[in-house]
Structure 1
């Protein structure tokens, strides 16, 4: 038996250990899901709502334990893990509302009877979860998929299997009368390959742009599989003017360094005017970054950020930082480890990359690249100089600049005077280009979890012969 383990990145302690699902186990899970689909999909929506409401109640009962599991396994502070669980709980009500509004049933009276719009589930959905929000992000796929009538086979990230197992326990309690509607399989790449290579009707994925590009290629000849990709971004934040530099610096720090930079919507590039304001803002951001409390999830005083997911992630990010410095970028704040702590801990790094060629890549860590530009046209050109399009932000009190930014910036989440990471479950969340495939999640997940069926319906066949008129041969 092959086993999978996860570890607390703060101290290396074992968090979870369990069996890896091999190809045979994955195939068996998919077969069970296929057999369970007909009955689950045929249930009235009210019955499925009742199940997900039970899931919400179970999450509420176990929220403290689940938050500790997330915090230990990801390294994020407990306050943030609690917020993640709260988002999971809130997702249920939002998904029920979205299902009714975006994928419900509509009827219109016609001379012959009715025109009816219905939505039908696709079938068996494969969900691949990320490590940075191991509960909230897959939950945003799973809840609407089950509400729509699909069955789900879920593979958590191999770095956060404990969170996936805890979610599966909650679903097991909610689905006690509906076995195999939701299944959780554990494993790494081989398990994922077996899952997407099996008989599935949809792949709902949150993760890196590189993985998303791979899935596009894999499913190019499988048009029957719905593909919803929520990917990363090389997100710009244009800070052009502000009445209060310290408030603006707070927006930047929250955009760039929250969750230790491990959010797909984090600002990776700060674009400022080459003026006294731009310099003052950069200095204020650097000073504020120096004051951030960094620590383990359960430490006192409570940290604002924790370690990266593992030591390898820190090493990879450091190599990217050093590469930029080697290209000529000026180090404003070094990206280093922290003495006396595991190598997964890092300090936020900042580089001035003005005039330096920088690869258009996402560094999934607290690394901020600063560019200084002469005017707003140059700022927009720099902001849009990316193949990604997830999130973007503008710090400015100028309404005209904001209107221009909205029109010219191609991204799925565009914020003003608020962090680029700000998003709501009551709105769509997703990106363009290498950041997604035009199937945003959050409130719009209902769109990809069911397909529309249009029907003309009449109580009998009367009235059809008249449509032929006198155009028949005698």
Structure 2
């Protein structure tokens, strides 16, 4: 039996270890979920609300423990993981409201009878969790799915199995019926075994390449609902903004928060040619120099921690070097940080103006600058990607925003705020290689249940008068 080991990327210390689920164990988990589905889906909705409320209470009671576990597994600073636990608790109330607004049941009287709209759960939902928000992001699928009446098989990221186990413990404390929620731990083979089972929905947050693979795999299974949130090569445009220091704060928080490991991080900074763009870059460099990258338990608390692993750091540095080899000019060199583990990397900034580079997301604190001559060219450069998750505009001119919001292609578009900002009671997701038009967050209710439209009458009555052409 293969053993799964989770380590602290800042220290290399083991955080969790346990066996990976075998294909037979995965099949058994799906079987339990299938057996539990009819009863769970048929229960009064209040029963399901009460269950997720009990889960919410367990999360609240264990929030410090789970936040510390996420910091240890991912290296994220305590200020971030504490916020993540708050978002997980808040997701319960948001999901209840979303179900009522987005799905639920509605009835209207018509000339042909009572028209009723109901929503029914799909069945067994497979949830594959990411490492960057190992609690919040899968939680955003699991809670709406349970509310809708789906049963769940959850495979956490192999980089954060302890977080997944603690979530499962909280759901166990919620006293769900047997088989409604099932945890399987493991890596790629475990995930593949899960997707080979007769599931009804796949809910996934991760890379564009993985999302493309899932679309191909389920091309002949249209009944399997795919909810895919796949990251992005996100643009941040700065135009007609006079306060360079204020602009720098928005840029830094867009590009380098969570060590660049947010799917909504700005990867491309589009600036005007000339003195205004130069001043902004100078302010960004000055602010980046003040950022602290250190282990989560450092004193004082750091801005951010390491990447998820030394391997991820090496891959990111290699990807950045390929862009430099293609002709990009280094403005701020990225490197591993002296005295810290090989998972730590410093922020890097390159200028790729006029250079053809690969249209791929680097999940690290790296930023690519492009300088353009006019605002139309800035929008065009922003849309020059196969992705479409997030985008942002920083400008003193509201007229620029009016043009930008109409022309930029992305699912989350912010004005004078970081690209990483997103409200839990709004949809979150993108288009193109960033997803399949099933935004999560508030709109998760949409893909957790399907609509059923009915005409209804309380008694059997003749409709012969509706039949034309009778003799």
TM-score, with normalisation over the residues of structure 1?
Answer: 0.98
Q: In the TM superposition, what are the counterparts of 1:55-454 in structure 2 within 5 Å?
A: 55-174=55-174, 176-454=175-453
How much has 1:112 moved relative to structure 2? Answer: 4.9
Task: Name the residue aligned to 1:456.
Answer: 455
Kindly indicate whether the alpha-carbon contact (under 8 Å) linking 2:51 and 2:176 is maintained by their aligned counterparts in 1.
no
Deviations 1:82-141 (A, max 9, x none): 000100000000000000111110010124541100000000000000000000000000
How much has 1:324 moved relative to structure 2? Answer: 1.3
Structure 2 distance, partners of 1:117, 1:177, is 28
Kindly indicate whether the alpha-carbon contact (under 8 Å) linking 1:261 and 1:367 is maintained by their aligned counterparts in 2.
yes
Structure 1 distance, partners of 2:365, 2:292, is 14
Structure 1 distance, partners of 2:294, 2:463, is 74
Structure 1 distance, partners of 2:3, 2:367, is 37
How much has 1:358 moved relative to structure 2? Answer: 1.1
| Aligned alpha-carbon RMSD (Å) | 0.9
Q: Secondary structure at the match of 2:452?
A: strand
Structure 1 distance, partners of 2:410, 2:329, is 28
* Deviates further, 322-331 or 77-86: 322-331
Q: Secondary structure at the match of 1:341?
A: coil
Deviations 1:417-442 (A, max 9, x none): 00000001100000000000000000
Task: Name the residue aligned to 1:35.
Answer: 35
How much has 1:398 moved relative to structure 2? Answer: 1.0
Which runs of 5 or more residues in structure 2 are unaligned? Answer: none
Task: Name the residue aligned to 1:48.
Answer: 48
Kindly indicate whether the alpha-carbon contact (under 8 Å) linking 1:413 and 1:423 is maintained by their aligned counterparts in 2.
yes
Relative distance call for 1:203 and 1:177 in structure 2 (3 A) is closer
Which runs of 5 or more residues in structure 1 are unaligned? Answer: none
Structure 2 distance, partners of 1:408, 1:138, is 31
Kindly indicate whether the alpha-carbon contact (under 8 Å) linking 1:104 and 1:118 is maintained by their aligned counterparts in 2.
yes
Deviations 1:138-178 (A, max 9, x none): 0000000000000000000111100000000000111x251
Kindly indicate whether the alpha-carbon contact (under 8 Å) linking 2:250 and 2:417 is maintained by their aligned counterparts in 1.
yes
* Deviates further, 104-113 or 43-52: 104-113
Runs of 4+ in 1 over 3 A off after TM superposition: none
Kindly indicate whether the alpha-carbon contact (under 8 Å) linking 2:9 and 2:306 is maintained by their aligned counterparts in 1.
yes
Structure 2 distance, partners of 1:306, 1:391, is 23
Kindly indicate whether the alpha-carbon contact (under 8 Å) linking 1:112 and 1:463 is maintained by their aligned counterparts in 2.
no
Q: Secondary structure at the match of 2:152?
A: strand
